[in-house]
Structure 1
Amino acid sequence: MSVMVSLELSGPSPLLATSSVPLPHAAASIASAINRPRSFFMSYLSNCRRSACDYISTVDDKHVETDTWLETRGVWKVFGGQSKKALEMSEGGMSRAEVLAATGCTIGVKDVSLSVLPGETFVVMGLSGSGKSTLIRCISQLTEVTKGSVIFDGQDLAAMDEKALREVRRKKLSMVFQHFGLFPHRRVIDNAAYGLEVQGVPKDVRRNRARLVLEIVGLKGYEDHYPQQLSGGMQQRVGLARALTVEPEVLFFDEPFSALDPLIRRDMQNELIRLQRDMQRTIVFITHDFAEAIKLGDRIAIMKDGEFDQVGTAAELITNPATDYVREFTEDIPKAKVLTAADVAHAGALNPDWKRVQSSSSVESLIPLLLADPLPLVVQGPDGVSLGLVDRQAVQDLLGRVA
């Protein structure tokens, strides 16, 4: 569907842009139009949340509808028999440790609100015990929330009856787990087709769909193998194929690559990036690895003790950590390698004779170019449209800020 998004950016007149792609991708197009990096608009849209869109309507104006959003509003999860008392104590300001000592209850998730844009890869990163896996299970409703709402497609999943929730899970949501969860007695093709089997799709139809998806994830020729005949990376590809076969609107990944060897893990990360570029699904991804979060995420939420410490793009977290906890994660990151030309681009008059660099180019790769020539570099997006300029001062300021 072609949609029109009205964004109040500055001044009395809104910027109107027509797009048929998810907002993270639309952000790149809007950024190109007015010489701002994509990350600026990802941040703008996420901070404004629903208010960023005055309206989203079909172009024929026959009706007005909101785009699909995934949100949590004040979600809590308390484990233990005195959850109500524990919730009241935590809301009153007591720490997790104090609540645990007084009630024996554990605060898994504490008053978390988030909004995931359509087509966005939203990464929740935290150490063991931070609450990240509990949160994704609350969002996907594999775990019942103690308090709060989980809004998907205008409906509160937390308030749905079991039958309605089952239908949403079967057709619109899919999850990929760390430990694969494959059926050892089923062949690869039937593992991949399982979600459609649950929906009652005829065998030949679901197998044809599964065969197509298996080819997409690089498993053509392995349809008749059993899981135990595959490597760990290949088994995880089967899990990914199973999630994709039902054509979900939202994909949940709970540390899916954590158990894989480093090289296989890197390959799976690259595979997910490729699939996301081609299929543009909404993804919520859980990890304990900040480098993985940076590589995969449009935005990243740093989680600690059941709460979000900071939410932002990788560049925002690295250059402006909000807390000492976030700073600890970012201080050892090789900034010049991780940050890109888009992160340091700024508006300015463009000269067609100046050298052009890709927005995805690392800051590290720009340094020798800027040392060899004092003129600014023109940053361009994948479509060749200019996004802005990078000069020596911008790089010096950025690296000085994060040194």
Structure 2
Amino acid sequence: MRGVIERLSDEGLGILRDGRREILVPHTAPGDTVEVLRWRRKKRKLIATEFKVLEPSPIRTEPKCPYFGRCGGCLLQHIPYEEQLRFKASKLSKYMGLNVNVIPSPKIYGHRNRVDIVISTTGIGFRRYGTWWEAVDIEECPVFGDSSGKVLKALREFIEDEKLSLYDIRKNGGFLRYIVIREGKFTGELMVNLVTKEGNLPESFPDYFPFASSIYWSVNRSDSDVSYGDVERFWGNPFIREKLNDVLYLIHPNSFFQTNSYQAVNLVKKVTELVDGEKILDLYSGVGTFGVYLAKRGFNVEGIEINPFAVEMANKNAELNGVKAKFRVGSDKDVENLSEYDTVIVDPPRAGLHPKLIRKILRDEPEKIIYVSCNPKTLSENLSALGEKYRVENAIGLDMFPHTPHVEAIVELRKV
């Protein structure tokens, strides 16, 4: 089957039509003439697994990363950044039913502050696109930056010197599973977290990473293919720090933080600009990214988060910055009277707001809601439900994830 790629799907795959049949072709651009030789079916979609680009689109650009097209980390490096932004703006506008501009990322390489690198018998790097068992061997990751190369070089020396076994996901065998690198882009502090199965880690491990501020060994005791585990031991500092404007945040191996620090500055600034009143509820508050930043600017902030460890980190961040924001463990379904707050900030997981919380918002009628979302589909569904009593005052897109199809949105809602 051959033809011209019409446009990109929401997932960033090129769409090739053959009558009423649609095949999704990864790593292609609108305007490419392609020939698809093989495809597979995934969740009622056809995805090309073997194809040729017969004639490249005039909009194509040369990817910076030598692993592009094999590595599953980036899908859009072959598309100029301005086109990526147009694609994301179009995607947001489609779901929201209004024109939404997307703020570009201040950096499009070296911007990620976290990468989770697979250590496996098939390679040390990222999963090959379309597979769950194979890894593409890499020397460094351009979207993370130069320190990824230093860490991977040291890791390979450690493996060679100590003759350590690598994980085989198909057999659930081997010792080393992941190495996670985190970096404070504004502080220069670096964390290395080695994730293994149960076993004995050679005492020499920290000696290979003298350039790291914090070194961790975590044990994944499950069969699940995840890049975190129980902390077994650490060397150096227990945390690294990141700074967004004048606010410092502590980062632990098991805590979530926005992965693009440069754009996270714009994210917290935009949310702050939209807040009204004095008393703020920060729902799904995580480590206090919004709450601590707002408290530093004089707002009276209460944060609620279901993850006890994240709450502990949020309170540490409040203490570190000398602010009085209070964070507590709680579920989005069991929030108290929302009408007490001038502004309610919600930053839910990809699944969106729980139906019980939507009903509670509609019953309590807080004056303003600021909705932060990384999933346009569930955002659209939630806005439709909230539209019974709220109108959209403002909507902004932010490109937190250059070279991927993902986009963040901030929506300002006011009671009708």
Same fold (TM over 0.5): no
TM-score band, normalised by the shorter chain?
under 0.3
TM-score (norm 1): 0.26
**Structure with greater proportional helix content:** 1
- By relative contact order (CA 8 Å, sep 6+), the higher-ranking structure is 1
